[in-house]
Structure 1
Amino acid sequence: MKIKSIIMGLLLLSLLACNDNKKNASPSNMEVDQNSETADKLEGTWELTGFYNYKDNVVVDSFEMNPDFRQIKMYTDNKVMWCKHKPADSSEWFGYGSYNFDGERLTEKLDFGSSVMNEVIEAKKEFIFELSLSSNHFEQIELDEEGNRIYSENYKRVE
């Protein structure tokens, strides 16, 4: 009977310890609070989570990120920097410049980037996207010449 009581006590303590750990979970592993001061602001650090393909301005396909591939974007008041990590590719991918967001359109003007990206920047320095922004997510939507949606990169806030 005494052993049964000790085992029950240990189980109870284990359950209480698990509940305590949930309360003290690190905020870096949790989504940013919906009511925080970052709500509906682009400033911060974002990670690419997937893509949407559009046809006739409607999502027709979606893709999640490969866990081995990462892309991060960081926005300050008026600067942007992004980088990609793709283990199977030895080329570096990053870009740096300024941006403007008017509530609907995001315009990024890149000053420089990795050697691969500098080739892209030589041909096109300014990138204009439709942007759908919420507290913890945004969709950066590429448009064709007629203003139709082609695809989007989808991001979640990490800080």
Structure 2
Amino acid sequence: MKKILGLVLLMLFLVSATKWASPKPEALHTLEGTWELESFYSFDGQDISDTIPKADGYRQVKMYSRGKIMWTRYVPDNPNGRFGYGSYRITEDELIETIEYGDNDMMKALDTMRSFTFELILKEDTFSQITLDEEGNRTSSENYKRID
């Protein structure tokens, strides 16, 4: 009887010393952070046909935070600049941006379209937002790197 009682106490001690925790779920990919445009791609349907670098002095930055997006663009030949603000969501392979307001040119464009859906290729420190035509063929992409 003493052996059984000793064994039960030992088992209780070992069980109580064991950390009971469920395994952490795999983190979903995220766009949270600040990203800078690196280049553009042109596609011939599915494959990249050309890489277009940014022009000298051209700068475009996107910031994603808690479901909101803000982007800004500076083009040396256009002193007015460009910007937009809205909301976004991602799925496993899509980025959906809904722009609420922006600069004068953006506000004119928003009269015809406010929601933009892109194919999304997201890695830890880079992402591409790929524009598709009506048949689902890739036409172009903007390629970003994480800066924050």
TM-score, structure 1 length as denominator? 0.74
More strand by share: 2
Give aligned-pair identity as a percent.
41
1:145 to 129, 134, 146: 134
Check whether the contact 1:132–1:140 (CA below 8 A) recurs between aligned residues: yes
Q: What residue is the counterpart of 1:157 in the other structure?
A: 146
1:123 maps to a residue whose letter is T
| Contact map agreement 1:39 1:134 (CA 8 A) in 2 | no
Among 61, 65, 68, the residue aligned to 1:72: 61
Q: Which runs of 4+ in 1 moved over 2 A?
A: none
Answering whether residue 61 of structure 2 is matched by residue 61 of structure 1, we say no
**C-alpha distance in 1 between matches for 2:133 and 2:114:** 17
Structure 1, unmatched stretches of 5+, are: 1-37
Query: Which structure shows the bigger proportion of residues in helix conformation?
Result: 1
Gaps of 5+ in 2: 1-26
What CA distance in whole angstroms lies between the structure 1 residues aligned with 2:41 and 2:92?
A: 21
For the aligned residue pairs, the C-alpha RMSD in angstroms reads 1.5
Look at both structures and tell me which one has the larger radius of gyration over its CA atoms.
2
1:91–1:122 Cα change, 3 Å:
same
CA apart distance, 1:39: 9.1
| Count of aligned positions | 122
Per the TM alignment, residue 96 of structure 1 is displaced from its structure 2 partner at its CA by: 0.3
